[in-house]
Amino acid sequence: MARRDGRSANQLRPPQVELRPLQRADGSARFRFGDCTVLAAVYGPKEPRTRHRELCDRCTLDVVVRPRVGIPGPQERQMEALLARQLEYVVLATEYPRTQISVIVQMSCCDGSTAAVAGNAAHLALLDAGVAMKATAMCVALGVTWEALVMGEDGDLGKMVKLSPEPVIWPLGVDLEASSGNKGQLDTYRLDPTELEEAQCDALISLSMDGSRNQLVSHISSGAPLDATIWSSCIEAADKSCKACLDTAFSRVSRDAGTARRRHCGTVDRRGAGAVRKGSKRGWQFATG
Amino acid sequence: MDADLLQRFNPEEFYRHFLADGLRPDGRSLREPRRAELQRKALGSALGSASLRLGRSSALAGVRGELDEIGRIEVSVDLPPLCSALFREKHRALGQMSFLSKTLTEVLNLQSVFDATQLVCHGEASWVLHVHIICLNYDGNAFDLCLLAAIAALEDTDLPALMKEPGTEAERLAIAPAESEIVAEARKLVLLARPLPVTFARMPGGQWVQDPCAVEESLGASVSLCLVDGRWLVFHQGGGADANRFLEELMPVARTSTEKLAKLLDDP
């Protein structure tokens, strides 16, 4: 089923990553899924602002979410709580005792799946800051439409989607095999919904997966309750799309940062041959170079 | 090492000793929920109210009615610093409070749970039911506590009869509508289906325990499952869980526990 922007049901919008857009922060990242953009900055590990926030064996993780316009309200508080729990799982807090790590998330442009994009931006900003993490988790959002389940089935809702097609990221040219069958059953969920699609969906699930270990970091559903089989197929879908998203986003990041590093670090200082001007003071290296 | 010191400074190790025997420090087995006590009509002034205790946690829910154009239920949850030292900072508590308020509002307004047409009174006016839940003592598992208290309070609600206020077009509440012309009948609120919650927490060894207390919740991921009419809502905030397995493991356990919860709510 074609969506308004031409994607199929299991296609993500192309992810775009920009690392270190902010020079003063310890780490920062801007993440986009299509039009939805979120900027995240990390300050820390640093001394906690107040003494009583200090924990003797681990760091305190502080998350602040700022909306695009206006003052933060209950929705922002909820996203802060959710992000804090996600990041607490991922960050190796025991490596930084008695310190505080602040993560500030700024919504730039909201076009659906904001919680997922915010989670991704926060993870990448932590990576940029060099904070020790035990996993790289990616978040993705799914919209489930209930009407499509009710119509056109034989009344046997137990036989719901067995996820067959692989998620495809469009149009980056990452080719994953898409299987041809089960066209009618694809209507049940939409990966990475835009704001208009979110309004039409009956249930919205935001999932965060740690691809390497096949661990689900968090997921929140809102809207109508769903069958158990649909849950497992949604988790499968998110698993595959998170892995695909991770691969493409990180390969892009390495490629872009590699060129940036060559621009900054590759010039030879006039003072002496062989002396290379250092790039950023943190000297952050990419594995792929 | 002294047991109290071990519990305070290394709770994971403390729990590991107990979990190896399949028990928890308070004597419960892994899948055993705490004892629940429900008391209806806890507040005299509210349209409906209930007080619920789950082990050491307790909450009070009251329902207040207002008239508006669209009938709905609105839930607000309050976790004051009174209930636990964890909520000493308002900032921390706000996240949990807004999550609970928003989630419970959504769950109780679902079409399969509550039929909003029963809130319609004369003409265009409908009831808006504000459910206020205050947690008086927090010992983990706020989701179960608040949702069950809200359901009990709503089932206890009596919508009063309404009459037209003489001389004006507006409708006013009639306290004793003996001789007055009743415009909307008094009626009891009915829920089509009960959303029954079960919460699990993941322990350091990888086992899932049901109905966690505050210490157990802080040790790992917590997942709240809510069964509505045979279908599930899942809220999993943070922490790792083996993606493919945990739902298949937890959903059957949750299904059997919800039967006990239904019995609790059915008791007069």
pLDDT digits (tens, 9 = 90+) for A157-169: 333 333 333 343 3
Give yes or no for residue A285 having a pLDDT over 50. Answer: no
Q: Does B218 touch chain A (CB under 8 A)?
A: no
Residue B192 and residue B215 in one domain: yes
- Least confident piece of the model among A44-53, A91-100, A165-174, A263-272: A165-174
Superfamily of domain A15-137+245-287 in CATH is: GHMP Kinase, N-terminal domain (3.30.230.70)
Min Cα separation A229/chain B (Å): 9
Residue B19 and residue B88 in one domain: no
Considering its fold, how many domains does chain B have in total? 2
pLDDT of residue A174: 26
The beta-carbon neighbor of B233 closest among A217, A225, A232 is A225
> In terms of DSSP bridges, do strands A168-169 and A11-12 run parallel, antiparallel, or are they unpaired?
parallel
Residue B120 and residue B164 in one domain: yes
Residue B63 and residue B125 in one domain: yes
Over residues A118-129, the mean pLDDT reads 91
pLDDT of residue B172: 61
> In terms of DSSP bridges, do strands B208-210 and B222-228 run parallel, antiparallel, or are they unpaired?
unpaired
Interacting residues of A264 by C-beta distance below 8 A, sequence separation 6+: A277, A279, A280
Q: What pLDDT band is residue A188 in, cutting at 50, 70 and 90? A: low
Over residues B94-123, the mean pLDDT reads 85
- Beta bridge partners of residue A40, listed in sequence order: A29, A105
What share of chain B has pLDDT > 90, as a percent?
22
More confident residue, A104 or A13: A104
Q: What pLDDT band is residue B174 in, cutting at 50, 70 and 90? A: low
Show the tokens assigned to B56: 């050491």
pLDDT of residue B243: 61
Residue B171 and residue B52 in one domain: yes
pLDDT of residue B137: 94
Q: Does B242 touch chain A (CB under 8 A)?
A: yes
CB contact under 8 A, A223 and B106: yes
pLDDT of residue A286: 35
- Cα A210 to Cα A94: distance, rounded to the nearest angstrom: 20
**Is the CB of residue A31 less than 8 Å from the CB of residue A37?**
yes
Mean pLDDT of chain B: 84
Residue B125 and residue B44 in one domain: yes
Give yes or no for residue A101 having a pLDDT over 50. Answer: yes
Q: What pLDDT band is residue A193 in, cutting at 50, 70 and 90? A: confident
CA distances (Å), origin B250, targets B13, B144, B200, B236, B254 = 24, 16, 8, 12, 6
pLDDT of residue B165: 67
Give yes or no for residue A282 having a pLDDT over 60. Answer: no
Residue B80 and residue B127 in one domain: yes
- Cα A219 to Cα A90: distance, rounded to the nearest angstrom: 15
Residue B214 and residue B233 in one domain: yes
- Which residues in A have their CB inside 8 Å of a CB on B? 74-75, 77-78, 80-82, 84-86, 88-89, 135, 209-210, 213-228, 231-232, 235-236, 239
pLDDT of residue B173: 58
Min Cα separation A230/chain B (Å): 10
More confident residue, A122 or B112: A122
- Least confident piece of the model among B105-114, B130-139, B234-243: B234-243
pLDDT of residue A264: 47
More confident residue, A12 or A154: A12
Residue B22 and residue B35 in one domain: no
pLDDT of residue B53: 93
Report for B39-53, B109-123, B154-168: range of highest mean pLDDT? B39-53
What is this structure's pTM?
0.81
Give yes or no for residue A224 having a pLDDT over 60. Answer: yes
The residue range of the domain holding B14 is 1-30
Over residues B45-72, the mean pLDDT reads 90
Residue B170 and residue B223 in one domain: yes
pLDDT of residue B160: 81
